[in-house]
Chains A and B, each alone.
Chain A
Amino acid sequence: MRPGMMTICRTSIYFMLTSIVFSTLLLSGCKDTKKRPVMRIGYMNCNNEQETMQRFLPLTRYLSEKLDVEFVAVPVDTHDFEKRFRDGEFTFTHTNSLIYIILRENYKLGLIASDKRGNFGARTGGAIIARKGSGITKLSDIRGKRMVFGPMLAPTGYLAEYDLMLRSGIDPEKDLAYYAIPSGSYKHEKLVYGVLFGQYDVAAAPLLDLEVMTREGKIAPDDFVILAQTPIIPYCTFGADSKTDPKLIDKFRQALLDLKPSDTVEINGERIKVLKAAWADGYEELLDSDYNIIRDMARRVNMPPYQKY
């Protein structure tokens, strides 16, 4: 080989080697996202999908960072939740406490942690309220009156109050003039306003909604009379499919319990406070036996998963 050719060859080899070394270095510097397993978390809609995603996208991003798993947030309608879980659409769940029990009884859903929010922490209750000055001052006064409940699968907007009435000798099916459930989103707020503005005489209101609406200045404590109050029961709950790796569940739980109000994640270039976005004060590790009080209510009210026809 001629000396000129030799020089060209050597230069090409050096160039190729340098390119390979640089490419390798660049690639190794990149985060290998492809290898992270992808898992889905089903979040029960409180009002609508947009709100659900705004609430839980930061939390989902936080969990992805902590567990090195690519979590995907899936907004799910309450009435579709069981079917979509059964079909294997998501591994982790975030639901109200009654849906948790339904999935637990029917599919052995594992308990991870419960949301803490408001005065009662990981628990909350319901109340039967009337407008102050309406002449309704005690529970027995609601016979023959117009009542409004929250959605049927709401533990503290329907189940707990319905159970309370039955235990107090008032049958909602027979002893009221009629009862209704508001249509569309923001049902709990609608029923509070429904009583305030006289559309209904009494309402089954979650204490947490009353607390939040009072804090936001939408209502005043003096606007209503609390006729009766239910026992406090567990609030919204994270669960995991029974086939999920127990170590991953433990890490998931620990990540939730470790969350502090100051923890943030980046969403579209903006730093978002995870707990604030998720409307939570923190998370608590309840025991499944803590949910027995809801099981008893569901049995008495003849509701899923114990419904008998």
Chain B
Amino acid sequence: MFKDRFDRLLWLLLAVAITALLILLGTHSPGGGNDHSATGLNKALEREMAYQARVALLQKLYAPVENLCKSGDLQGALFRLDELARTYPGEAHSHILKGEILHQLGAREEAIASYVQGIKLSGDYIDKKSPLSRHDDIRRLVDEGLKEIGGRAKANPGNASLAAAMKNVYYLQSRLAGGCE
């Protein structure tokens, strides 16, 4: 068994390897060591990575729309957005960008309705801390809606369309105030 020094060295290395393996297994087995915090950390990290990846992907996908907006071709941006919305139906970002463009083109009620659709799909856009946040734009739009649409709705209390538009304004207002879906 221990015929010479080489045998002893081999047995020693084997013992070290087994001990190291046991330590490793002990650390990563369920209930072992700081498992809960480590897993939690991993999950948080995974979530953050997925979120950052989503933000980066959205910025890349919608870059042509953003570029057209910056160059002042709002209608061209709207056409491009329609194409993207057909490829990625149900993507909140489309609704948010559409809301921005419609607002700039003077279609206030439609802009508000588009923001509502987007925020119902993802609350990121109302969250001040999110890189996707449109909190301040939405705040301005709500103030405008309360004044302009609100004034017309008061003057025409039986008008169903103005009442529906005001419902959307109040929805955005409640989400700005921290209300949930």
Contacts and interface: CB of A to CB of B under 8 A. Distances in A.
A112 interface: no
Interface string B130-155: 00000000000000000000001000
Interface in A98-135: 119-123, 125, 127
Contacts of A122: 161
Interface string B52-78: 000000000000000000000111101
B5 to A, nearest CB: 79
B57 to A, nearest CB: 22
B79 to A, nearest CB: 4
Given A121-B109, A121-B110, A232-B105, A207 B160 contact: no
Contact of A211 (B73, B82, B106, B113): B82
A79 B110 CA distance: 32
A226 interface: yes
Contacts, number: 53
Interface residues of A, number: 23
B83 interface: yes
Nearest to B80: A221
A229 B152 CA distance: 26
A119 B159 contact: no
A127 B74 CA distance: 12
Interface size class of B (residues with CB under 8 A): 20 to 34
A210 interface: yes
B166 interface: no
A89 B73 CA distance: 45
B106 A231 contact: yes
A130 to B, nearest CB: 13
Given A221-B76, A232-B107, 9 more contacts: A119-B110, A120-B110, A121-B109, A125-B105, A127-B75, A215-B82, A229-B74, A229-B105, A285-B162
Interface of B: 73-76, 78-80, 82-83, 86, 98, 102, 105-107, 109-110, 113, 152, 156, 159-162
